[in-house]
Chains A and B, each alone.
Chain A
């Protein structure tokens, strides 16, 4: 059974730098590209970042480029999101999600974790 479990959320001040983690199980982690998708309270879904199965290729939405860094440790089956220079607009539930294949091109996201809430507030 595929499982994704996010951690690292909570309340942070503007300008803060939390790191989110996502522990994966139930599938061959290194065979799947991974992603972070966020959802602000009461709002829709926004793709944030993606990373290939090897970790060699990374991609970002314009809204987070230069502030967020996605990475993975395939030996630990864990995905990360380093978030820097946070603003109130980054307040959201952050979902860890897996792609159907090694690459993110032409491949759909087929499973999501339950999410972790990041609240940016002074």
Chain B
């Protein structure tokens, strides 16, 4: 199975900060990577797929990049609604695997 790791596990930031989260795959997954946002008690929400394609309706301050085994999610200017946990997920294999998550909280 493809293993996913994320760093950092927790990130403390302020409104307006530029935030970057890194995701790594245990083997190449080309660009088959998605990012989800999850708030407490809620279902995950798709933000980005195919490494860098923004899902419809997602604010343009979110962006993704990378290919192969290393990927990043960037929030260009953190907004109050962005405090949440972010998960990366590979879909190179039909046995989807998720990263352990990165919690973005208020500094």
A interface with B by C-beta (< 8 Å): 35, 37, 44-47, 50, 59, 61-62, 95, 100, 104-115
Contact = CB atoms under 8 A, between A and B. Distances in A.
A114 B95 contact: no
B107 interface: no
B101 A112 contact: no
Contacts of A44: 87, 98-101
Given A44-B100, A47-B97, A59-B95, A109 B43 contact: no
A46 B98 contact: yes
Contact of B94 (A37, A59, A111): A59
B94 A45 contact: no
B98 A113 contact: no
Contacts, number: 56
Contacts of A47: 95-98
Interface of B, secondary structure class, is loop
Interface size class of B (residues with CB under 8 A): 20 to 34
Interface string B68-107: 0000000000000000000101011011111111000000
A122 to B, nearest CB: 26
A27 B17 CA distance: 38
Nearest to B44: A112
Contacts of A105: 94
12 contacts: A44-B101, A45-B87, A47-B96, A95-B44, A105-B94, A106-B32, A107-B91, A108-B46, A108-B91, A109-B34, A112-B45, A113-B43
B46 A109 contact: yes
A106 B91 contact: yes
A50 to B, nearest CB: 7
Nearest to B34: A108
Given A106-B32, A108-B34, A45 B98 contact: yes
A95 B99 CA distance: 17
A14 to B, nearest CB: 26
For A35, A45, A104, the residue with the greatest tally of chain B CB atoms inside 10 Å of its CB is A45
A48 to B, nearest CB: 10
